[in-house]
Structure 1
Amino acid sequence: MNKLANELGTENIGKLLIKQAVPATIGILVMSLNMIVDTIFVGQWIGVLAIAAITVVLPIVFLISSIGMGIGIGGSSIISRALGANNTEKAFLTFGNQISLTVILALLFVILGTIFSVPILNLFGAKGLILPIASEYFSVVIYGVPFLAFAMMGNPTIRAEGKPKFAMYAMMIPAVLNVVLDVVFIKFFNWGMWGAGLATSISFASCGLYILYFFLSSKSELKIIPKNFKLNFKIVDEIIKLGGVSIVRQGAISILMIVLNYSLFTYGGEISISVFGIINRVMMFSLSPVLGVSQGFLPVAGFNIGAQNNARVKETIKKAIWFGSILGTIIFIGIVIFKEEIIWVFTNDATLLDETPNAMLIVFLVTPIVTMQLIGSAYFQAAGKAMPALFLTLLKQGIFLIPLAYILPKYYGIDGIWWSFPIADVLSTIITIWVLKREVDKNLK
């Protein structure tokens, strides 16, 4: 732990952020590729409706697995601050409780998801010709979700140890495996959507098993100690309060997907759901560097908050926003220049090629400023302040985007849905800047 303290507590902030953010970015990029590959292959080899089916199913999968992500982020915030305060006993206890919570809750929700699969798929927008294709995909993917939940729990915890490269490897393994299995199952075995689902499920399992291997090996400074599996109410309460931010955020995203799929189907039919499916995959992939900066920010900020080094915390906030804003600007320029070429990767359908580029440009319009939202909510998570973190997390998807995506298309048709994204981003960023500035002025003097 001394090496970790020397790095996070004394090393140059810019170098630290790069050291933490680059592996996180690569990991997120490759994990996003996991989702993109499914969309590309089913779009090219199965059809347009298959893209719509994946667009419906994946938010359900990530809603269930976000339990692990929430437990991981909440627990890693506690672990980072405990390590910063040199309290290894609390760090180990937190880690054991993370494992117990993830396994229990993930299995429970997978069982419920399996029993009520059709009503859930209907709720998320699997209507008309989309439902049978989505059901076939979901029936296989659901069995990989507990492994994904465990992986999402373990990934931020590994970063909290100061081991970002291993967190990156954990995200790269399933992406590479999914590419290979998609080709084998869809192209050569001709297993269709069932094959795509099987490839994804196996890739989820590989990710979870690698993370388990890491924690069982000598590489991890956090040890799996059976006595720490017993749930400690105080630790669980803190994990849930902080991790609940991520779970609620994913819940808001899931509600957003319900509203979006309803509006898309109402004003544009199945084809509009496919348009958004492509945009959503591009968004996941292209914003990976910005997300990587926010993920790299968490352990650095959390450790120095625990060590009560306010000057380093403020510097971390400023440099993270600066790095992310530059990356966001580069991403937007790339979208403007290559928007048509990007769509060609996913499909050769004439309607999609005609409708998607303009919609994608609108959705990405204010990408240069989104880092401010991410760092704002990440700071409060790192500081263990659940309520402001929850508020800032819900700003875009919950408070602004959901009502805008429902109301605007009533007046502006399908374009109203696309414009709801940049409007929500601008409003969320303004409020986040105000809240974060107040916090810095008040508590980081």
Structure 2
Amino acid sequence: MHVNNTDIPVKDPRTVMLEHEKIPKLLLHYAIPAVIGMLVNGLYNVVDRIFIGQGAGEYAIAGLTITFPILIFMQAFGMLIGSGASARVSIYLGKHNRDGADAILGNAIILTLITQLLCIVPVMIWMKPLLIAFGASERTLPYAVEYLTIVVPGNILTTLSFGYNAIMRASGYPKKAMWTMIIGALTNIILDALFIFGFGWGIRGAAWATFIAMLVSAVWVMHHFFSKNSLVRFRRLAMKLSWKESLEILSIGISPFLMQLLSSVVNVVINRSFVGYASTSQDADIAIAAYGILNSFAMIGVMFVLGISQGMQPIVGYNYGARLYGRVLQTFKTCLSFNIAVSGLTALSALIFPYALTRLFTTSETLTDYTVTAIRVGMCAFVFVGVQISSTQFFQSMGMPMKAMVLSLSRQVIFLLPLLIILPVIIGGLIGVWLALPLSDALSGALAIMLVVGHVRRMKRMTHNTAELETETEKVID
């Protein structure tokens, strides 16, 4: 007689812990490995730029910054599938449906191959025209082309390592997911030092270090999901394209996808604003390099907040699927408190130590002076980033793509893009570009608070009604 996994409650210790462990301890259990993994990932990106800045100069940093829109655009498709699949896997496990979780995983790998093929080929064909349109000058274009020629074909490895690492974490393996990031980061840092300073390869060395590191991470992740010991794994019958599973993945993944996609657009607008408002082409290159350094520092804070939020995701997803709404709310409140503290400390550090942070990347006095001012202005409202990311992940984890999408779009479309267009005209010049960053952070944070407060009130009523129903049921049984 055939027995379907759907009919048997999953009694794996990981799911028992998600349902019964105390929330602060449970969040730390999932968040600490995620934070370490994300910080290590952010750190090796930062170290990458430090090596490039110290080994190849300020125009190499500017060239690398010019590549951000293309890299972010390609990573958006990894977020589309990885975030959507990880949230759905958590929800299926919360419903004790392991077959459904396996089907999501199998469908995700097919979607990954299709989307990456559609990304890589056009970028390789039109690379130079795109970079010039995005603000590259004759000084920065060679660096950007040299880097992307190596990194773009390997983007499928990036998608496999980062996207499926989120699924690994969501299915109850936070420590193993942490090691994915650590292994890749250590590989990249060691090879960066060897290729850039040992072999003298410059930005080409950084590109090869990134490619090899992503290959190592991708092999590690894929080995996990092909293992029979994995709670969720690749099964031959489940590895097929299904419209049902595809829509389930894409409906949730669309929010982080749009967030990444619009981040790419914003980076283009920022770079073009620097080119348009700078007095000379060389000044524009310096401004773009400064933005790259600012992004590097902000990335550390964002990675920390994302790690905590990703630690929240499997807890919220599972308990929401199990209708344990009180645990859902407690998890979010704990996560939000941590993230506000982290983003606040990040902003404070930027205001106090901008010079020391800048000198890590460059010895150029011109670039240093410019970047110090940029960091102080651009990071002054960074505390709201913690609120926005926590709230977006909260809605995404519960399978509410529309609310998550509104928060994602708020900063990139509703606030930041108009501010980037209006402020430089009103205030005059580049300072308007820099002021758009903290203003959009503050406004999107305020919108996140409004949406979350309304939803939390509804969930509290649901929790109260559920408790009353359980009480009445117990009376009937007695």
TM (normalized to structure 2)? 0.90
> Match for 1:93 among 97, 103, 110?
103
CA drift at 1:444: 4.2
Q: Give CA deviations for 1:178-223 in whole Å, capped at 9, x if unaligned.
A: 1111122121222222222111111121121111122223552111
Q: Residues 68 and 264 of structure 2 are in contact (CA less than 8 Å); yes or no, is this contact kept in structure 1?
A: no
> Match for 2:350 among 324, 328, 335?
335
What residue in structure 2 maps to residue 272 of structure 1? Answer: 287
> Match for 1:402 among 417, 420, 444?
417
Does 1:284 find its partner at 2:294? Answer: no
What residue in structure 2 maps to residue 61 of structure 1? Answer: 71
Aligned partner of residue 39 in structure 1, secondary structure: helix
Does 1:390 find its partner at 2:405? Answer: yes
What residue in structure 1 maps to residue 87 of structure 2? Answer: 77
How has the CA–CA distance of structure 1 residues 375 and 286 changed in structure 2, closer, same or farther, with 3 Å as cutoff?
A: closer
Aligned partner of residue 346 in structure 1, secondary structure: coil
Q: Residues 67 and 106 of structure 1 are in contact (CA less than 8 Å); yes or no, is this contact kept in structure 2?
A: yes
What residue in structure 2 maps to residue 225 of structure 1? Answer: 235
Deviates more, 1:410-419 or 1:273-282: 410-419
Q: Residues 76 and 157 of structure 1 are in contact (CA less than 8 Å); yes or no, is this contact kept in structure 2?
A: yes
Q: Residues 253 and 398 of structure 1 are in contact (CA less than 8 Å); yes or no, is this contact kept in structure 2?
A: no
Does 1:150 find its partner at 2:160? Answer: yes
- Gaps of at least 5 residues in structure 1 are none
Q: Distance in 1 between matches of 2:446 and 2:261?
A: 23
What residue in structure 2 maps to residue 131 of structure 1? Answer: 141
> Match for 1:238 among 243, 248, 251?
248
Aligned residues: 445
What residue in structure 2 maps to residue 172 of structure 1? Answer: 182
Q: Give CA deviations for 1:123-164 in whole Å, capped at 9, x if unaligned.
A: 332233211221111111112211001112201101111211
What residue in structure 2 maps to residue 110 of structure 1? Answer: 120
CA drift at 1:288: 2.2
Q: Give CA deviations for 1:25-54 in whole Å, capped at 9, x if unaligned.
A: 111111112211221111111111100111
What residue in structure 2 maps to residue 162 of structure 1? Answer: 172
CA drift at 1:97: 0.5
What residue in structure 1 maps to residue 453 of structure 2? Answer: 437
CA drift at 1:408: 1.2
> Match for 2:361 among 338, 341, 346?
346
- Gaps of at least 5 residues in structure 2 are 1-9, 279-283, 462-478
Q: Which has the larger radius of gyration?
A: 2
Q: Distance in 2 between matches of 1:125 and 1:303?
A: 45
Q: Distance in 2 between matches of 1:299 and 1:94?
A: 15
Q: Give CA deviations for 1:289-312 in whole Å, capped at 9, x if unaligned.
A: 212111111111111100001111
Q: After the TM superposition, which residues 13-28 of structure 1 pair with which residues of structure 2 at under 5 Å, given as runs?
A: 13-28=23-38
- Aligned partner of 2:363: which letter? N
> Match for 1:381 among 396, 406, 417?
396
Q: Residues 96 and 225 of structure 1 are in contact (CA less than 8 Å); yes or no, is this contact kept in structure 2?
A: yes
Q: Distance in 2 between matches of 1:210 and 1:264?
A: 41
What residue in structure 1 maps to residue 434 of structure 2? Answer: 418
What residue in structure 1 maps to residue 324 of structure 2? Answer: 309
Q: Residues 351 and 379 of structure 2 are in contact (CA less than 8 Å); yes or no, is this contact kept in structure 1?
A: no
Q: Distance in 2 between matches of 1:370 and 1:108?
A: 32
What residue in structure 1 maps to residue 385 of structure 2? Answer: 370
CA drift at 1:13: 0.8
Q: Residues 275 and 356 of structure 1 are in contact (CA less than 8 Å); yes or no, is this contact kept in structure 2?
A: yes
Percent identity of equivalent pairs = 35
Q: Please give the root-mean-square deviation of Cα atoms over the aligned residues, in Å.
A: 1.4
What residue in structure 2 maps to residue 198 of structure 1? Answer: 208
What residue in structure 2 maps to residue 9 of structure 1? Answer: 19
Deviates more, 1:56-65 or 1:370-379: 56-65
Q: Distance in 2 between matches of 1:55 and 1:227?
A: 43
Q: Distance in 1 between matches of 2:317 and 2:165?
A: 16
Aligned partner of residue 365 in structure 1, secondary structure: coil
4+ residue runs of structure 1 moved beyond 3 angstroms?
A: none
Q: Distance in 2 between matches of 1:104 and 1:369?
A: 36
Deviates more, 1:221-230 or 1:341-350: 221-230
What residue in structure 2 maps to residue 254 of structure 1? Answer: 264
Q: Give CA deviations for 1:81-107 in whole Å, capped at 9, x if unaligned.
A: 110110111011011001111122112
CA drift at 1:72: 1.1
Aligned partner of residue 347 in structure 2, secondary structure: helix
Q: Distance in 2 between matches of 1:68 and 1:350?
A: 38
TM (normalized to structure 1)? 0.97
